[in-house]
Structure 1
């Protein structure tokens, strides 16, 4: 039996019909009916509701099947195209901190994929860049894995750090990058330290790449108007830092059961209203 989004009867007919159409391709919204209604009811006009519908229609939602396909593609790229084996390569999450992040999850999930393609073992897949850089040997390869790349600034900095550390240790090592998803704008960054950067999904900006001239100005103004209803500062987070998504990335991306990146529009994940009330975010973020 097919499930449908439970929509409030108070929604305008145009919005109601638009959401029903979207739900056919964006099936993840079905389980978030209450949160979706709360988001749309917070809009001040039908135009704002239809505007959000357009953005939701362009969302890149990674469900379990899509994730499995992406991991299989990365495994094939690593093993076949790049010629990586357990004897000449270390796979590592793009992580240097003590806290769990999505790159660690990808490093963990790619283990069985690589196991099917060769005799890979756990001791060839690392969760921390520092350990991998110290362990990699002369002439070997490092494959850095991650879930999502937004602006590419962090990745660029990490690649430069890896290259510098390897040079300090007087080793010659090839560096590769494999990610589930990435924003096209990150291509503007300097990734020259890597031999190749492969993402299974490339995404456009939700406003800049779909609206133009006056329409783009109006779309940005409308989103900023909705953001103005959010609490300017919550705990240690300032809304101004994440306006239109971190570094204005304008992302619309979510991995099922994951922690959505702050590159997404805060209207989808910010926790508090300006009035002090707690929101019911469409995609809650820690």
Structure 2
């Protein structure tokens, strides 16, 4: 460890709060080394200190919460289809959660649950009496994708259907907006925005400026992906969340997962995101 003396205590405190980062020491040190000011360093430390990095035990706890909701949401098992919030045949987090939640549902007596791994296949299942649809996924950022899926279902499923949504985690403001529009959604872990819903007054202005400076050190474009589309997280979500051994949502601040710096060099990132278009 070759920390500067003034940073040493902050590194140690962060490791004590976020033990997963102790395995990413080199990546964290690389990120801190890109900071020009004490304010930028403090912002990075603050964001990581408040980060939700879900290990297996915690993930299983939230899956249990989701299963409880499904079993008690007044839908009937014989009429239900669990549908991943997935549009095409590319494997994604929605399909992963769909697979993971089958076990807690089975343990609660839902042993004959119909699962559908692509949203488009829900049409066929609904024609066979599965007209109570529960859309499942891992993370809700802005809610735009979910709204699109719901609109598609309502347009393409000819018979009357009931739709509910069940997400492992998501941004609190997005959940509240969906509920305000009468979209039934359950999300056990709800997050505040990492900067704009944490800092206030001058501290907020300084934090926004510091993040803009940090992002200016990243590549503006990687193949077909533009940094401006992901600034402060996709849709300005400002998410501080990732699943252990999972694919980091694009809602997370890109300083933690963007692959290249402004000079085109590969970055040693704290988190990993796989997305078509970055290969």
Do they superpose with TM above 0.5?
yes
What displacement does 1:75 show?
A: 0.7
Q: Does 1:204 align with 2:205?
A: no
After TM superposition, give the deviation of residue 85 of structure 1 in Å: 4.2
Pairs aligned (count): 272
Q: For 2:3, which of 10, 14, 21 is the aligned residue?
A: 10
* Partner of residue 154, structure 2: 163
| Residues 1:151 and 2:142 are matched in the alignment | yes
- Structure 1: how far apart are the matches of 2:62 and 2:89? 27
Q: Whose RCO is larger (CA < 8 A, sep 6+)?
A: 2
1:51 to 30, 35, 43: 43
1:103 aligns with 2:91: no
3-state SS, counterpart of residue 190 of structure 2: strand
Q: TM-score by structure 1 length? A: 0.90
* Cα displacement (A) at 1:190: 4.3
Q: Secondary structure at the match of 2:246?
A: coil
Structure 2 residue aligned with 1:236? 224
CA distance in 2, matches of 1:231, 1:139: 47
Q: CA RMSD in A?
A: 1.7
1:125 matched to 2:115? The reply is yes
In the TM superposition, residue 246 of structure 1 has moved relative to its aligned partner by 0.9
Q: Which moved more, 1:105-114 or 1:137-146?
A: 137-146
Give the SS at the match of 1:87.
Answer: helix
Q: Distance in 2 between matches of 1:71 and 1:106?
A: 8
Q: Distance in 2 between matches of 1:143 and 1:235?
A: 36
Counterpart position of 1:41: 33
Structure 1 moving runs of 4+ over 6 Å: none
Contact 1:92/1:142, CA 8 A, preserved across alignment: yes
Q: Per-residue displacement from partner, 1:106-149 (whole Å, max 9, x unpaired)?
A: 00111111111124246x11101111232124583111100000
Q: Is the 8 Å Cα contact of residues 78 and 130 (structure 2) preserved in structure 1?
A: no
Q: Is 2:265 the partner of 1:277?
A: yes
Alpha-carbon distance in structure 2 between the residues aligned to 1:184 and 1:275: 36
CA contact (8 A) 2:194 2:239 kept: yes
Preserved CA contact (<8 Å) 1:12 1:46: no
Using a 3 Å threshold, how does the CA distance of structure 1 residues 58 and 225 change in structure 2: closer, same or farther? same
Other structure's SS at 1:38 match: helix
- In structure 2, what is the equivalent of residue 261 of structure 1? 249
Contact 2:79-2:129 at 8 Å conserved across structures: no
Deviation at 1:46, TM superposition (A): 2.7
Deviation at 1:86, TM superposition (A): 3.3
In the TM superposition, what is the alpha-carbon distance from 1:74 to its structure 2 partner?
Answer: 0.7
Aligned position for 1:4: none
Preserved CA contact (<8 Å) 2:81 2:130: no
Residues 17-74 of structure 1: CA deviation (Å, up to 9, x unaligned): 1222222221111111111111111211233212100010111111101110011111
> What are structure 2's unaligned runs of at least 5 residues?
275-279
* Match among 106, 112, 131 for residue 115 of structure 1: 106
Alpha-carbon spacing, 1:89–1:203, altered in 2? closer, same or farther (3 Å)? same
Deviation at 1:193, TM superposition (A): 6.2
Q: Name the counterpart of 2:56.
A: 64
